[in-house]
A and B are shown apart, each in its own frame.
Chain A
Amino acid sequence: MSEMKTAAYICQGCGIGERLSAKQMAVVAQKEGKMQLVREHAFLCSAEGVQMIRDDIEKEAVTHIMIAACSRRAKTEAFNFPDVTMTRANIREGVIWSQPEGDAAQEIMQEMADDYVRMGCAEIKKMKLPQGTPDKAQNKRILVVGGGISGLTAALESAEAGYEVLIVEKQKALGGWAARLWKRVPAKSPYTDPIDTGIVDLIASVTQHPRIKVYLNATIAQTSGAPGRFLVHIATENGAAATEEVGAIVQASGFTNYDINKLPELGGGKSQNVVDQAGLEQLAIEAARQGQPVRRPSDGGEVSSVAFIQCAGQRDESGKHLPYCSGHCCNTSIKQAMYFKDSNPGIDTVVIYTDLRTPGMGEDFYRSGQNRGVTFTKGMVSEVAAHGNSCTVKFKDIILNEDSSIEADLVVLATGQVPNSGVNIDLAEDAQAEAKPVSILNLTYRQGKDLPQLKHGLTDSHFICFPYETRRTGIYAAGPVRRPMDIAQATEDATGAALKAIQAVENASLGRAAHPRSGDLSFPIVRLEGCTQCKRCTVECPFGAIDEDEKRYPVFNESRCRRCGTCMGACPVRVISFENYSPDSIGNQIKAVDMPDEFSEKPRILVLACENDAYPALDMAGMQRKVYSAFVRVIPVRCLGSVNTVWITDALNGGWDGVMMMGCKHGDDYQCHFIKGSELANYRMGKIDDTLKQLGLETERVTTCAVAITDSARVAQLINDYAAKIQEIGMSPMKGFA
């Protein structure tokens, strides 16, 4: 790259010029910030203001610009200069909108603005224009693991969008569970009758598709590589092996039915006349094949009454069975009760439930079942006793508040879906050996063979904001492996996953980040000479992007990376950085502020705010004119996970009175965009207490808090409360040493 030429632009619009001295900011930029070119403008985002900057880029060969105006989240279209490095000082939302009017506040407000200019100038000199990762890989083929309804849908959707697809199915035929159903719950108006599954047609469209190749009786023996260049070893039953290169993977490995034999109290495994829902489908298909009504399995006798027991081994609080609801089973039982009612309305069908949950248009379907005379009874089943060719179902009727029982020829247990998610890589190895799970993907990733799980064996994804994402870039879970679901939901899920896979291969081919920093061209760069092989980055990367070479040095797979900076935050020797985001780019800002002395009564509080949630919340606080302490200086960070403890120690050594870190909620219902970032930050900060004590500082001088994007009012309060606390503790004794 050519010589660096810096320029600072100070906007006077939106009231900045009236409430602050732009002149002074310009002087600060020139004298302290050492900017080579400094310009003020009355209205910087106007066509004229933007043109001024453009002219400087062209004629003055400016390469690095610092804009002191509104928040970096505002006016992004006007201030869009892709060919230069840019940073922005937040004078509007961050200063004039969050500070009260009036002379009393004037001095400290101007100091705030001047500091933001200093920080911007310090940062820009440590930034470079991101060039995109050299790890650009061009394979755009999509591998779909699993040939059930989810896999087939994902395959067909990707193929129809023009991509080559490969399906690997373990069984000898495509279709999965859907092929083992007699009929499915309706997906179209009027939602009253069971309908054909449509699986035969779907299989036909997939097998006839010119862009889809199918491997049957096959499993994945090994997956290595990264988006755009995954290398997959496929093992087939007859011993033949194949190696294929693909760009992205959709894992639609589906579910297994919860083992009915684990429910002996409900007659599971005790009588042929007690079946699970899959068992009933089998009976229905068999009966339809013979052109007969469903017969009692034990003796082939006529069925005159059927009991359906909902939530069998599900929503279990004892810890013995599945704790969750599988979502589809109420509708499925209604459908199955209709099988009987439609063959003979005289057959009594009773559905015993505690809560009937009928997602989608299931309410219409439920009514249709009632209309056919299916009896619905709110009750808790305690026992199913089989005797001869009949079963007694003992239950407590919750409405009539009495113990009751019914006789049935056939009992159907609505057991749940257990995801086929492979190895739980977070479990200790001996626990894994005990569970003997079979890996689905056999990834060669340092962090483990399969997709990380959140709980109950379901793959981890950001449930609220980006459900299709997993913690392995370029690999997307679809269908019941992600969460329990029915056919309609699986179809939708698979379509979403197919789109994600397409995005992944396209981004990988351009060397850009995938979600949530979609399009980002920066990537982690490691200075291996300084690396101490501590492995923190390889262990902590939430996305398993970093492997290890034979000498145990980290190997970054940039296209697996989401650019969260967690590795940068983890690295104790600070050898990991991004071109435009690094230990120095932030460290320099921390050091750049003008630190008032101990007796000034002007404390300085550093706020490191997650740019996904906390920073927008702060901007919104400004928009709503929520006033917060003028002693804070806010620095946006990619994720709290990217915060390196060196910044904290630098700040404390430099005389800052307090450090506040604002990130997303962590834990089981985390909100962190990078899943583990805020959790890791909390963990790391838990250890900073020792450092504080060594420095002879109060532990309150560093604090972390969870802030959601909606917390605009709360965030101002949090700051003010913390400022009050700092006031109470008193000024830092470290001032003036650095």
Chain B
Amino acid sequence: MNELNIKYHNNFLKEVEENIEEGEWIKMCMQCGVCSGSCPLGPYWAHPPQELFMMIRAGKREQVLRSDSMWMCTSCYNCVVRCPRKLPITQIMHGIAAYANNLGMAPKIQPTRDFSILFWKNCTRTGRVNELRLTLGLYFNDGLVAGIKKGWAMRNIGLGLMRAGRLNLFELFKGHECKDQKGIHAMLKKAAEIEQRHKHLTA
């Protein structure tokens, strides 16, 4: 089938339903626009939730998955509270983002995505978040010079935290760790397997 033939047909919607958590809700949207109007970041999205749902129903696979819109969601849950059709919009936003990411279709430079990856790696390595490394990782994300500049700008806060015993420079070398790191890794692996089984990833 050519592109024209599948427009507004259920193909992409079905794919989304099969692969995205809570994706089966998308067909229930009644296009009232309350979510888009409620979202504090709505005006900055290229496609606010209502529109994303319509795009999915219109079969715009590429445009949806390559969009950076769903990455804009801050999980404030305003939309979920207000949606007259009770759609779990926040979850769906993250679901679409994760799916796009798994398919390698997510935008390459996207601050939310960058931070998410950094955070995930940071906390899954030892089972605990290493705040100093997370912060520095974020600072140096844009290169060495930018990192030094940001660090310098924040030095007083850093010193203050240190004096208050809230920041330990040795964390840089060996921070808090979970006792059973192997167990944690095994758990995460199992979770990934279950997810795979649940949603048959189509690349």
Contact = CB atoms under 8 A, between A and B. Distances in A.
Nearest to B85: A367
B55 A400 contact: yes
Identify the interface centre among B8, B57, B58: most chain A CB within 10 Å of its CB: B8
Contacts of B7: 404-407
A400 B8 contact: no
B117 interface: no
B10 A399 contact: no
Contact of A375 (B4, B10, B55, B85): B10
B61 to A, nearest CB: 14
Contacts of B54: 377-378, 397, 399-400
Contacts of B58: 377, 397, 400, 404
Contacts of B27: 370-371, 373, 375
Contacts of B150: none
Interface in A369-401: 370-371, 373, 375-378, 397, 399-400
Identify the interface centre among B5, B28, B31, B58: most chain A CB within 10 Å of its CB: B58
A407 B28 contact: no
Given A371-B27, A405-B4, A400 B51 contact: yes
Interface in B10-60: 10, 13, 27-28, 30-31, 50-51, 54-55, 57-58
A348 B9 contact: yes
A402 to B, nearest CB: 9
B28 to A, nearest CB: 5
A406 B13 CA distance: 16
Contact of B9 (A305, A371, A405): A305
A147 B55 CA distance: 47
Contacts of B31: 376, 378, 399
A79 to B, nearest CB: 54
A397 to B, nearest CB: 7
A239 B178 CA distance: 99
B28 A375 contact: no
A350 interface: yes
A194 B58 CA distance: 26
Given A400-B54, A404-B58, A405-B4, A376 B30 contact: yes
A32 to B, nearest CB: 69
A406 B28 CA distance: 21
B10 A348 contact: yes
Given A377-B58, A397-B54, A399-B50, A371 B8 contact: no
A377 B57 contact: yes
A522 B112 CA distance: 83
Identify the interface centre among B4, B9, B51: most chain A CB within 10 Å of its CB: B9
Interface string B129-141: 0000000000000
A516 B51 CA distance: 53
A407 B2 CA distance: 11
Given A350-B8, A367-B28, A399 B13 contact: no
A405 B9 CA distance: 11
B33 to A, nearest CB: 8
A377 B30 contact: no
B4 A407 contact: yes
Interface string B67-89: 00000000000000000010000
Nearest to B11: A348
Contacts of A350: 8-9
A305 B53 CA distance: 21
Contacts of A366: 30
A375 B31 CA distance: 11
Nearest to B54: A399
A356 B13 CA distance: 21
Contacts of A376: 30-31, 57
B13 A370 contact: no
B18 to A, nearest CB: 13
A399 B51 CA distance: 6
A370 B17 CA distance: 13
Contacts of B9: 305, 348, 350, 375, 406
A405 B7 CA distance: 8
Contacts of A407: 4-5, 7
Interface in A319-376: 348, 350, 356, 366-367, 370-371, 373, 375-376
A1 B13 CA distance: 85
Contacts of B4: 405-407
A266 to B, nearest CB: 17
A120 to B, nearest CB: 59
A350 B13 CA distance: 13
Nearest to A356: B30
Given A367-B28, A377-B57, A404-B58, A348 B50 contact: no
28 contacts: A348-B8, A348-B10, A350-B8, A366-B30, A367-B28, A367-B85, A370-B28, A371-B27, A373-B10, A373-B27, A375-B8, A375-B9, A375-B57, A376-B31, A376-B57, A377-B8, A377-B54, A377-B58, A397-B54, A399-B31, A399-B50, A400-B54, A400-B58, A404-B7, A404-B58, A406-B4, A407-B4, A407-B5
Interface of A: 305, 348, 350, 356, 366-367, 370-371, 373, 375-378, 397, 399-400, 404-407
Given A350-B9, A373-B27, A399-B51, 11 more contacts: A348-B10, A366-B30, A367-B85, A370-B28, A370-B30, A371-B28, A375-B9, A375-B57, A378-B54, A404-B7, A405-B7
